[in-house]
Amino acid sequence: MKQRSSAIGATSPLKVWFQRFSFVLLTIAAFGVLLIGKADTVMLSRARVWVADTVGPFIHVVSAPVETARETASEVQSYFALKQRVEILQRENQALRDWEQQARTLKAENESLRALLNMASSPRISFISAPVIADASSGFVRGVIALAGRDQGVVKGQAAMVGNGIVGRVQDVGERVSRIMLLTDINSRLPILIERTRDQAVLAGNNSDQPDINYLPRDADIKVGDHVVTSGVGGAFPRGLPVGEVAEIVDGKVYVRPFADLGRLEFIRMVDYGLPGVLKEDLGVEAGVQKFAKPAAAPVQLPRPAKPAATTPKLKPTEGLAQ
């Protein structure tokens, strides 16, 4: 016991000295390794390879259980995430089935009412899809150029749409290209309907990302998030085309965020709903193209001048004196 305690006492100063000067010793060792590497790179490379060969299998054996545990945990998380996703999809599928049943019921009711009222069928819809090849916007207008024109059947005044809503209307038509005026253009005016309140108004572009609503009734109860659709007033577009939703109301002014991303248009569908509309005359479409052309006015006949009425002859002065 005494010998063991004496050995520990002898090594204690050495341990304390090593702890004090460990940083200096490690720094010297690092510089020594650097000098050896500069002096003999081949030897250092061989030593590095030997260390890698020696430690590599040990690291692989130690890391294998850790990697297996990590993959297992990831698979468990994926399983629970997929299970939750499946439950969500099942609920959505059930909701869609309910909506499908309601849609079938409403469709049958609509057909019965149309037959009862002897309602005229909707006009045939035709459309032309074309890629957007240029942005025609500037500081004063908002528009794009589509690669379809008169040769493809595009007509001035047609609705320009994408998958999730209307983006504007055809403003100018060339032989192979067309210019589309966007909803945000300061010259754009679109009759709209607030879907929840059924209030009619006009959507006016203002050269910003959110056009505003004009001519709203004073008692209109508009809220953020209300959907806006076309009203069909004027006969230019049919009722119910999706336009956007109310984004904000500032100082009584209502601003609408279009459903379509007008800044990322790649393809546009130009739709002809077969409606005469007020835009046909305003935009200068030829009378021969219009479906409802006015009859030619009959030539105006000027009235003939009336003949002067017969009057009794005046007496000569001599006759008057004789009497």
Query: Among 132-141, 192-201, 281-290, which stretch is predicted with the lowest mean pLDDT?
Result: 281-290
| pLDDT attached to residue 312 | 45
Query: For strand 178-182 and strand 189-194, is the pairing parallel, antiparallel, or unpaired?
Result: unpaired
pLDDT at 225 over 90: yes
pLDDT at 81 over 80: yes
| pLDDT attached to residue 124 | 73
pLDDT grade for 6, boundaries at 50, 70 and 90: low
Domain that holds residue 131: 126-282
Tokens 């009425």 found at: 309
Sequence letter at residue 70: R
Query: Among 13-17, 48-52, 175-179, 210-214, which stretch is predicted with the lowest mean pLDDT?
Result: 13-17
What residues does 191 pair with on adjacent strands? 202
- Is 253 part of a structural domain of the chain? yes
Sequence-ordered list of residues with C-beta below 8 angstroms from that of 82, at least 6 positions apart, any chain: none
Stretch (H or E) spanning 128: strand 126-135
| pLDDT attached to residue 283 | 44
Sequence letter at residue 237: F
* In 157-251, beta strands by DSSP E: 159-162, 165-173, 178-182, 189-194, 200-204, 212-214, 227-230, 242-250
Percent above pLDDT 90 for the chain: 41
Average pLDDT for residues 163-169, to the nearest whole number?
A: 91
Percent above pLDDT 70 for the chain: 73
Sequence letter at residue 147: L
Query: Among 6-10, 31-35, 41-45, 115-119, which stretch is predicted with the lowest mean pLDDT?
Result: 6-10
From residue 174, how far is each of 48, 153, 158, 179, 219 by CA, in Å?
Answer: 73, 11, 14, 8, 45
Query: Among 55-59, 121-125, 187-191, 303-307, which stretch is predicted with the lowest mean pLDDT?
Result: 303-307
| pLDDT attached to residue 111 | 85
pLDDT grade for 12, boundaries at 50, 70 and 90: low
Average pLDDT for residues 192-210, to the nearest whole number?
A: 94
CB contact at 8 A, 160 and 171: no
* Tens digit of each residue's pLDDT (9 = 90 or more) over 249-296: 999 899 999 999 998 999 999 998 877 665 544 444 443 343 333 444
Q: How many whole angstroms separate alpha carbon 323 and alpha carbon 320?
A: 5
pLDDT at 29 over 50: yes
CB contact at 8 A, 242 and 166: yes
| pLDDT attached to residue 9 | 53
| pLDDT attached to residue 318 | 42
Encoding tokens for residue 141?
Answer: 């207008």
pLDDT at 241 over 70: yes
CB contact at 8 A, 125 and 150: no
- Is 169 part of a structural domain of the chain? yes
Query: Among 32-36, 84-88, 286-290, 308-312, which stretch is predicted with the lowest mean pLDDT?
Result: 286-290
pLDDT at 10 over 80: no
| pLDDT attached to residue 288 | 37
How many structural domains comprise the chain?
1
| pLDDT attached to residue 236 | 83
| pLDDT attached to residue 36 | 65
Considering the chain, what is the average pLDDT of its residues?
Answer: 79
Q: What are phi and psi of 30, to 5 degrees?
A: -65, -45
- Is 24 part of a structural domain of the chain? no
- Is 261 part of a structural domain of the chain? yes
- Is 302 part of a structural domain of the chain? no
Tokens 């007020």 found at: 278
Encoding tokens for residue 24?
Answer: 């200096």
* Tens digit of each residue's pLDDT (9 = 90 or more) over 98-122: 999 899 999 888 888 888 887 666 6
Q: What is the CATH number of the domain that holds 141?
A: 2.40.10.340
Average pLDDT for residues 172-188, to the nearest whole number?
A: 94
Sequence letter at residue 79: Y
- Is 3 part of a structural domain of the chain? no
| pLDDT attached to residue 77 | 86
- Is 117 part of a structural domain of the chain? no
Q: How many whole angstroms separate alpha carbon 237 and alpha carbon 277?
A: 8
- Is 52 part of a structural domain of the chain? no
